[in-house]
Each structure stands twice: as C-alpha cells, then as structure tokens.
Chains A and B, each alone.
Chain A
Amino acid sequence: MLYLVFRQLIHLVLSFFVLTIFTFSLAQLFPQGISFIIEAESNNIFSGETSQNLVNQTSNFFVSYYQYISQVLSGYFGLSTVRGTSVFDEFFIYFPATLELSFAALFFATGLGLPLGIFAAKHKHKWQDKVIVSTSLAGSSIPIFWWAMLLVLLFSLFLGITPVASRIGFEYDILPITGFMLIDTLISNQDYATEAFISALHHLILPAIVLGTIPLTAITRTTRSAMIGVLSEDYIRSAKTRGISAVVVVWKYALRNAMIPIMTTLSLQISVLIAGSLLTETIFSWPGAGKWLLEAVNRRDFPVIHGGILAIASFVILSHILLDFLSMLVDPKWRHR
C-alpha cells in the first residue's frame, strides 16, 4: 500500500517536471520570451514601471528555470496581457464550468454506456449486439462540432425544447460560490433557487450529451468486450448453476471483474473530454476553460495560453494518477504488494 502511494507520488513529480520543462520551453518561444511569466508582480506592464526583469539579467537556463518553477509553485502564472488579472485566479473562475460539463458528460456516458455494453455482451452476436456495436462505431466517427450543430438544429431550433447557449437563463442572478452552477443554485438563498436549478440543468443537458458521445462509444465497446471475456469464465457458470439470479451474476459477479479495463478507458476519457470541451464550449458559448483558452489564442494573450495549458495539463496528469491509483486499489492483484 505504502509502496503504491510512493510509486504514484514519484510518477506525479516526474510528470510535473516534464510538464514544466515543456511549458518553460514553450514560453521561451513567446514574443517576449519567458519574461512574460517570470516577473516580480510590481514589474508588470499595468503598474507603469519599466524596471528590468529578472531573466534578462540572468541568461543561465538553470537559474531562469529555477525562478520559473518557484513562481509557478507559489501560484503565480503571470498576468493576462488583455485584462491585467492574475491568470491563476482566472483559471479557477473558468475551470469549474468545464469540470461541471465534463462530469455531466461522463455521467451520461457511463450511465448509458455500461448498461448498453452489458446488454450487448449478454446478446453476443445477436442482432441487438450488432446494432449496438455498429452504432457505437458510427458514433466514434462523428466530428463532435457537427454533432453539436445537428442536435441544436433538432432539439433547439426544430423542437424548441432545449436552450441554445450559456449556462443558465439570463433572468437568474446567481452568486458564484463553488463555480459549479448546479451547486450554486441549490445553496443560493434567492427565492428563485429551485427555478434557477432547473434552468441550469436544462442548459446543461445538450452540451453534456454532445461532449459525452465519444466517451459513450468508448465505454460501450470496452464494457462489451470486457463483459464477453468475463461472462465466459468458469466462476460465472458455477455461480449460475448455484441458482444465483442472472441479475446478481451480471451486476455483482461479472461487472466487478470487468471493472479494471473499464477504469482504464475512463481515465483515457479525461483527455478526450478536455479536448472536446474546447469545441463544445465554443458552440454552446459555455463560459469554461476551453473557451477562455481559445479567446486567449485569438487575442494572442500569451500568459493566459501558458497558464491555461499548464493548469489544464496538471489537472489531467493529476487525475490520471489518481484514477491509476484507484484502479490499483480495485484490482486484487495489487492489494498485497
């Protein structure tokens, strides 16, 4: 157990080291070089002072990397050249929206993908299985920005049952406390808290379905193949012959053993969700980190680009390592190491 924690920690430190080397070299390519990021806060362009920055005095790679990493670790990612606000603080304003959308998408994908995969595995090679497999293959070839527009066309413009953009109806004024709209509306003490919650949920549905489609196909296919493998095992047959009901056999005996490949797929979906959120947030005007980053790219706001990729990549790496650790806890093979 301790060994596992230690191993994951070393993994985390190494990955973070590679990440900072990458972002550091990336920052060197910016028009003003790394000085965008390494600056005492008083030296920024908004304070009017034009004192020399630290890097020009020390051209040594290791010295400037040391300064860079100490600033990053203390939570200073530079200031946005457009707004003059701290990139680190801005990230925590926008990222919860992305996280909320991704959680909703993941919820949709697992909630639908697991039963579909199990259903397909139970009807292996019958028509139900073939329909599910070919639909999931077709689904994985859909460009999600087009898929988003099709769904908007159908549900918002043609049927008129879902909103087209943003996180909540404009008539509600919700104070951001956690940044998650669903939680904020619930804990807010306004009279219209319940209506606001419903409106937030209403706005969340379509983007979550769009973002969750690719993970849904991946989870369905992994669940199906894992369950087919597990269901042909001897212990499943013996559980069935002992008279245990089919539901218990599938959901308790088989699914627990099929969980390990599914967990691996889930951890791979984090990157897919973040990449997809760039497109989904653009289409649905969702005020999340992806839209924030793309706006920074369009305005050539280099500190935001730098800080955004650093923060998002750290999040992805951290969650990969956490999920890795979780799947090791689930996997009995690792338990006694």
Chain B
Amino acid sequence: MTSQSQFYHQTRIPSTYARWWGHFYDNKFSLMALIVFIFICLVAVFADFLAPYDPTHTFIDAIHKPPSWYDLGDTRFLLGTDYIGRDIFSRLVFGARLSLSLAGAVVLLSASSGIFLGVLSSFANPWLDALMMRVMDFILALPSLLLAVVIVAVIGRGLPNAIYAVAIVLVPHFVLITRSAIKHEIPKEYVTAMRLDGASKTRLFYHSILPNILPPIIIQLTLAFSTAILEIASLGFLGLGAQAPHPEWGTILSESHNDIMFASWTVTLPGLAIFFTLLSINLIGDGLRDAMDLEQK
C-alpha cells in the first residue's frame, strides 16, 4: 500500500464523516463527554444487571438510610434509601433507562414530524409556507414549559401525554432549521445543475440537498435531546409527567423535595444524574458544532 501511494504521489482524502470525527476527536472535552454519555447509555441498557434491587421495592427496615460511606449508612444500599426505603441507586439506574428512552421517543417524534414539515414548507407554495412559518413562530414565542403544562392539562397527565406535549414544543425548531438550511442550499449551483439534468423534486432533495443540510440537523438533534430530558424531568417534578412509583429523575426529585432538611442525599444524587447527562449531551453538541464549522471553513 505505502509503496503504491508513494509511487503515484497520491494523498488519500478522508470522507466527510471521517473528517468530522477527526475534528471531534481533537476536542478533548467533547470526547470525554461522549465517553460519559456512552457510559450512561450502557447503564440504561444494562439496568437489569446493574441495579441490585427492584426500583419500586420498599425495604421497611431501612428508611432514609444515608449513602454507604456515611457512618449511619448501610452497605446494602450504595447510595442510600429514600423516604419509604427504596434503594436510590437502583432507582437512578432505572431512571436513566426511563429518561433516555423517553427523550429518545420525544426526539424521534418531533424530529420526524419537524423535518417533514420543514421540507414540505420549503417546497410548498409561498402561502402555505408563510402560514406555517407564522404558526411555528407563534409556538416558539410561547414559553416551552408553559405550553407543555397546558397541553398536559388539556389531554391529561401521565407519561404518553407528557411525551406528546414535549414533542409538540420541540417541533418548530426542527421545522425552522430544516427550512432555512434548504432555502440556503437551493440557489446554489450544484442544485441548479441537478435540476437542469431533469431531476425530480424528490430526487433533488434526497440526492443533492439532504447530505448538505445534515450538519445543522444533527446539532439540533443533540440540542433537542438535552431539552427533552430537561422538559420531561421538569414535568415530572411538577407532577404532570411520570407518576409517582416510576423512577423518573424529575419525579424522584419532586418526591424527595420535602426531605431536603434531613435527607439531602435524596435530592442531590438524582439532580447530579440529570446534570451530568445534560452536561455531556451539551458538550457533545458543542463539539459537533465546532467540528462541522471547521469543516465548512
């Protein structure tokens, strides 16, 4: 291989994705965040093996046990127990599974409908486009959590409805980003060339425009994922999302809110779980943005 490339003076140009990865790899913070995030995902996937107990099982003899490194702690419960004796470590591990999968569902729902609407509005006639933009601007102007709360209030509380509410809140971002990226690409020469070749609108979109609008959409996906986790936790905290026995992080926090004076570990630990998850996703998003920006230059 080496002799051949020296012989022809070839330089191998890596693919776009490989170059993105190269830039991403250079950013140590983002790389660390990616490792943390993969770790959290693994915890979520293997929750059944990692968690020592059932997350809803109550130990009647161990109420409000502090974490095991305290004097009063119990080695049976690594991170202590809550006000009815449930193992916090197991609840957090299963909470990771619940939060990540809920956020995944939200992002899937909002991204698919948002990108579809964005493509539709950028190829549709100007009137429909203008109308959709007005509606999207309106939804964006409303405070996101307020809108989610009102939607939940109308369609009823509980997990599925919370997912719909948060997904609706996130849709406009995808619509606007897709639309503006497409509008940015359409006047470019390669699109015109494709069109002169007689490509249909679908072919034009899939083969020439879509690969070029991927960067902003990927960044929006990471942003939406962290927003979704935060909003679901907020709804859970307000008692409108996941309901009490579910080990959802926000719900855990709202349940232990009143114990803050004498059992602070029931408040700090679930919050740390949310914080580190959000931080790792935001850092990954930042790293991706920098990597793709570098590629553009």
Which residues of A does B touch, CB under 8 Å? 14-15, 18-19, 22, 26, 29-30, 134, 137-138, 140-143, 145-147, 149-150, 152-153, 157, 271-272, 274-276, 278-279, 282-283, 293-294, 296-298, 300, 305, 309, 312-313, 316-317, 320
Contact = CB atoms under 8 A, between A and B. Distances in A.
Interface of B: 29, 134-135, 138, 141-146, 149-150, 152-155, 226, 230, 233-234, 237-240, 250, 253, 257, 260-261, 264, 267-268, 270-271, 274-275, 278-279, 282-283, 286
Dominant secondary structure of chain A at its interface with chain B? helix
7 contacts: A14-B134, A26-B154, A138-B279, A141-B282, A143-B234, A272-B143, A275-B146
Contacts of A153: 260, 264, 267-268
Nearest to A152: B260
B268 A143 contact: no
For the residues of B in contact with A, the DSSP-based class is helix
B144 A271 contact: yes
A271 B134 CA distance: 17
Contacts of A320: 141
B149 A278 contact: yes
A150 B154 CA distance: 32
A37 B137 CA distance: 26
Contact of B268 (A150, A293, A298): A150
A143 B271 contact: yes
A141 B275 contact: yes
A19 B138 contact: yes
A149 B257 contact: yes
Given A141-B226, A157-B260, A305-B150, 7 more contacts: A18-B134, A26-B150, A137-B282, A143-B275, A297-B149, A297-B153, A305-B154
Shortest 8 CB-CB distances between A and B: which pairs?
A: A146-B271, A275-B143, A275-B145, A141-B278, A274-B143, A141-B279, A271-B143, A297-B153
B238 A278 contact: yes
A279 to B, nearest CB: 6
A12 B287 CA distance: 39
A305 B135 contact: no
Contacts of B239: 298
B280 to A, nearest CB: 9
> Of A150, A279, A300, which is in contact with the most chain B CB atoms at under 10 Å from its CB?
A150
A325 B82 CA distance: 52
B230 to A, nearest CB: 6
Contacts of A22: 138
